Amino acid sequence: MHERGVVNLNLEARIQPGATTREGFNISGRVLVANDQRGLMYGLLQAAEDIRRDGKLSDAKQSPQVGMRGIRYFLHNADLERDWYYSRVY
């Protein structure tokens, strides 16, 4: 902020569940609203990038392209879990 001459940003950042999608954020004016902590982190990174690039905040709204990024499942008993694990329906 010092390098870009931004003296007082007055950014209001808050978490408001349900305001956006999971891990999403919305920057409007000087207000950053995120659905959760990860969305808040992404919003703050976006704000830092805007200040670095332009010296000011830009309105932005972002959310992940997919609702679920990945699933981790550890098989514990292959004999009991084989039916659903290899199921095409699942």
Q: State how far the alpha carbon of 24 is from the alpha carbons of 36, 38, 39, 43, 67, in Å.
A: 8, 8, 5, 8, 10
Rounded mean pLDDT of 8-30? 90
To the nearest whole number, what is the mean pLDDT of the chain? 86
- pLDDT score recorded for residue 1: 73
What are the residue boundaries of the structural domains of the chain, listed by start?
12-85
The CA-based dihedral angle spanning residues 28, 39, 67, 58, taken in that order and rounded to the nearest 10 degrees: 30
Is the pLDDT assigned to residue 10 strictly greater than 90? no
